Structure 1
Amino acid sequence: MPRAGLVELGFWGAIQRVTPIYVQGALTTLQVTAVAVVLGLVVGLIVALMKLSRVEILRRVGSFYTWIIRGTPLLVQIYIIYFGLVQYGVVLDPFPAAVIALTVNSGAYLAEIIRAGIESIPKGQMEAARSLGMSYGQAMRRVILPQAYRRMIPPMVNEFVTLLKDSSLVSIISMEELMLYSRQLANATARGMWFFGYAAFYYLVMTTLFTTLGSWLERKLKDYE
């Protein structure tokens, strides 16, 4: 961490010096977010199908999961997974702890998005598919989900952007990402505006890329409708 002499370099000199560290931190942030997004989608789909199931116990478990996760702060969930599980002999490194916490959190929100998207498809679509001899799973995969996911794209993009920004919270468990580096530099130099402002620039670039990609994907899907 090149901290010595940063203040003497002035703002632009300090920024040039720490840019490689910020790029590394941004890449780690994107890596954590990408893994959590993929796993969160899997968790969200499973929980959404549980909440739509005719089996009452599955509905109750799915509802309980979303109620607990959406009703508690992500920061508390990170603490429980990283610090709380140690009490039961489960010791996790910062990276897997961060991924698990973000996955569990995003899975609950994605479950509601997926559930709403599925329920937005007229019930007649499912009935027609079943009348053609499809099982429930086949009808869901071939008929319902292909129509529903087009409607899920905008809220999902918003959730991914939120997840990217919320990933800054994992710095509290010494996860070596963008926010941790910024906090260390700010504490060492007493120049919080420089380094936190520079971190904000990186987050702005990354979230803009996410929203731009989401808008492009949404337009592409409309072309196929």
Structure 2
Amino acid sequence: MTVPRPETYGADAEPAVVVRAVETLVDDWFVLRKYLLDVRRSDGSAQSLTRVSMARGDRVAVLLHDPSRGVVLLTRQLRLPAVLHGTPGGVLVEAPGGLIDGADAAEAVRREAEEETGYRLHRLTEVGTVYPAPQLSSERLRLFTAEYRPADRVGPGGGVAEEGEDIEVLELSLDDAIAQVMREPAADAKTLLLLLLAKQREQQQREQEQEQRQGSQEL
């Protein structure tokens, strides 16, 4: 596998990275591989590097919001890293989500949201795709937002008991949700990102409405 430098894509591009060898270290719930790389540095010199990367599959996450009531839906569930770092109860507050697991991303996010919260999603808006931990994992995370109403609830939520899930559903105002996540000893990154983006959009919408009112008054 060869990867050209970002500024030299094309048929004549000189490879910036060549994967010389791949060794599988772990093949279980996730796959851990070690890569031997030949890298051409920005000054033109060559360097051999060894890197490891964990593969578990790409994931999705969604922030559910009800604009008519000014609330969002989050979940709270047991997470091993929270246990290991001494978080009270070993739980994290998160946006619903999970593995794409071979499905279409929109289909996967609807499935996960319904399993975890009990709400059936209709219109989705994709926010973007991020690497949660590029120094460690090849996982990509596709982020969505979706509106919901109380009438969209079709089940109890709580996750899949057979998979060990015991998920609490939280309905909070956007400001309360941000405050609660920020109070965590270590916040869930995808959730904080989605909440802050939602707050930014809310502020932009208020500013636009204020400008429109001022324009109407001037006329």
Q: TM-score interval w.r.t. the shorter chain?
A: under 0.3
Using the size of structure 2 for normalisation, the TM-score is 0.20
Higher helix proportion, which one?
Answer: 1
